[in-house]
Amino acid sequence: MIQNSAINGLRVAVTGGTSGLGLALVRQLTQDGARVAFVARSAGDVEQVTTETGAIGIVGDVSRKHDIYPTALQITGNLGGLDVLINNASSLGPTPLVPLADTDCEDLEEALAVNVVGPFRLTKALLGALAAAAREGRGGTVVNISSDAAVNAYPGWGAYGASKAALRHMTAIWDEEVSDAGIRFLSVDPGDMDTPLHALADPDADPSTLKRPADSAAEVIEAFLAVRPINDAIEQAVSA
């Protein structure tokens, strides 16, 4: 069960925040009192989710190099810093899914740009803010959304699986390298969910066999709360 008091006042950024797991995270976090900024490509969708949740919507594409620093500045500027970054935006690569031998190089590049290079660039741009949060006793946490395709070789899922495998290993390296700064990195597999992305990958899947995004969102939140320091810094900041 999520402890609302542990979420209240957290400064959280979520990429891919207008659909599927990302939208469920934005809804749950804002409901429990977090200060949330989310990023997505469609201005119309961003406006709709902003109106619904009260979160701060940012129009940006994490796969585009020139979008990264403006996005990072808007995140920290609007939130006054950052405690948690959730790299959730994902690309399947080619759709419908095809074997690697039939995958165009451009489709592989897209999967890598969204699923690996984008999170890498955004994390680098926000690392200073996360380190500052850790020094202030608020903790600094990065959650990279992975998949079982990162560890299992599923035919047809080559571009997606290879990119998620790279993200998963990169997460482990980041965690080793910045642990002295008090920043934690987590790779979380949310499971097969009933989302537009999954429907695009597997149109014949029975939605009743898939997890609800809200349930996966709760698990992701529990995972990062479990590694965060227990202190009163956030509560004091909120009540000040």
Is 56 in a helix, a strand, or coil? strand
Instruction: Name the residue among 103, 111, 110 with its Cα closest to residue 150.
Output: 111
- Mean pLDDT lowest among 2-6, 26-30, 122-126, 221-225: 2-6
Does residue 201 surpass a pLDDT of 70? yes
Does residue 232 surpass a pLDDT of 50? no
Q: For position 108, what pLDDT does the model report?
A: 96
Mean pLDDT of 188-201: 84
Cα dihedral sign for 145, 80, 19, 228?
positive
Is 139 in a helix, a strand, or coil? coil
Please give the Cα distance from 95 to 91 (Å, whole number): 10
Q: Is 195 exposed, middle or buried (0-12, 13-18, 19+ CB in 10 A)?
A: buried
Beta-sheet pairing, 84-87 with 183-188: unpaired
User: What are the tens digits of pLDDT across the range 46-99?
Assistant: 999 999 999 999 999 999 999 999 999 999 999 999 999 999 999 998 888 999
Q: What percent of the chain has pLDDT over 90?
A: 81
Q: For position 193, what pLDDT does the model report?
A: 80
Longest dimension (CA), the chain: 58
Active site residue 160: yes
Is 39 in a helix, a strand, or coil? strand
User: What are the tens digits of pLDDT across the range 20-36?
Assistant: 999 999 999 999 999 99
Question: Per-residue DSSP letters for 66-132?
Answer: HHHHHHHHHHHHHHTS-SEEEE-----SSSS---GGG--HHHHHHHHIIIIIHHHHHHHHHHHHHHH
Buried b (16+ CB within 10 A) or exposed e, 206-235: eeeebbebeebbbebbebbbeebeeeeebe
Mean pLDDT of 102-125: 97
Q: Is 179 exposed, middle or buried (0-12, 13-18, 19+ CB in 10 A)?
A: exposed
Pick the catalytic residue: 15, 92, 133, 160?
160
Domains parsed from the chain with CATH numbers:
4-230 (3.40.50.720)
Q: For position 229, what pLDDT does the model report?
A: 76
pLDDT band at 4 (very low <50, low <70, confident <90, very high): low
In angstroms, the first-to-last Cα distance of the chain is 27
pLDDT band at 220 (very low <50, low <70, confident <90, very high): very high
pLDDT band at 230 (very low <50, low <70, confident <90, very high): low
